[in-house]
Amino acid sequence: MKYSKLKFLVSLALCFVTHSQAFEVKVKDNAGNPLSNAVVWLEGDLYRPKAEQVSDMFSMGQKDRAFTPHILVVPTGAKIEFPNFDSILHHVYSFSKPKPFELKLYKETPKSEIVFENNGVVELGCNIHDWMLGYILVVDSGYYALTDKQGRANIALSPSQIGKAQLHVWHERFEKLEASEQIEVHLSSHSQKETYKVKQSLMEAFDFAVDESDGYE
């Protein structure tokens, strides 16, 4: 009985691997160089967030006086907690239109998570540590990824997710921070690749220098 159950689970896993496909996106800057930490996602009827994805708890922490992860991508309606892993106080806030909020000076983890109902870019700051900067990107999609140092990102799809889709690309150094760039792509039943070159110039990278003398030890 145990052997039969194990055999079934292995067959199920192999079936999933066999029937899943990878959509690889390579993002380049306007000079043709690989662009890391770009967010890519698919939009369309077949790519909306699943109920279990929305019900997951996401986390945007503060550690070593920095937001971690620096960029967090979540589906519309996601719940996010903001744990403080430092021994000092943090004061997290955002004035961004999709979700203005404020978590006043606190340690550890606030008791209530925050729900992000609206799509868009949420820029985070800390009133105590001016250099702390982070981003939450709320997307109407369950299929998203961040590019690596080679500018590549992989999105796993099922064979049923074929046809037209909108591929969105966003980067924190976009001059128009609140807007993604997008193109229409045609997804097939086979693994495929897409290269996207951003249209706008990128702003200089922000210097995340840590000031140790904050007075809130």
- Separation CA 94–CA 125 (nearest Å): 6
Return left, alpha or beta for 108; rule: phi > 0 is left, psi -120 to 50 is alpha, else beta. Answer: left
Pairing of strands 78-81, 57-59: parallel
Provide the 10 A C-beta neighbour count for residue 207.
6
Report the b/e string of 27-47 with b at 16+ CB within 10 A. Answer: bbbeeeeebbbbbbbbbbebb
Taking the CA atoms of 124, 59, 207 and 105 in sequence, report the sign of the dihedral they define.
positive
Average pLDDT over residues 127-141: 93
Give the model's confidence band at 127: pLDDT under 50 very low, under 70 low, under 90 confident, else very high: confident
Return the bridge partners of 108, or none: 84
Q: What percent of the chain has pLDDT over 70?
A: 85
Provide the 10 A C-beta neighbour count for residue 103.
17
Task: Tell me if the bond preceding 69 is cis, omega within 30° of 0.
Answer: yes
Q: Which residues contact 106 (CB under 8 A, 6 or more apart)?
A: 84, 89, 90, 91
DSSP of 144-159: EEE--TTSEEEEEE-T
Give the model's confidence band at 130: pLDDT under 50 very low, under 70 low, under 90 confident, else very high: confident
Mean pLDDT check: name the lowest of 48-52, 139-143, 149-153, 204-208. 204-208
Q: Is the pTM of this model over 0.75?
A: yes
pLDDT at 9 over 60: no
**58: its two tokens:** 């996401």
The SS3 assignment for 119 reads: coil
Q: What percent of the chain has pLDDT over 90?
A: 69
Query: In the 8-state DSSP scheme, what is residue 111?
Result: S
Q: What value, to the nearest 5°, has the Cα angle with vertex 133 and ends 35 and 88?
A: 135
**39: its two tokens:** 């967010």
Helices (H), the chain: 2-19, 51-55
Mean pLDDT rounded to a whole number for the chain: 87
Q: Which pLDDT score, from 0 to 100, does residue 215 have? A: 47
Average pLDDT over residues 108-125: 92
Q: Which pLDDT score, from 0 to 100, does residue 8 have? A: 41
- Separation CA 163–CA 42 (nearest Å): 12
Average pLDDT over residues 103-130: 90
pLDDT at 197 over 90: yes
pLDDT at 50 over 70: yes
Mean pLDDT check: name the lowest of 89-98, 126-135, 144-153, 204-213. 204-213
pLDDT at 15 over 70: no
Give the model's confidence band at 201: pLDDT under 50 very low, under 70 low, under 90 confident, else very high: confident
CA 198 to chain centre: 18
Higher pLDDT, 189 or 58: 58
pLDDT at 82 over 60: yes
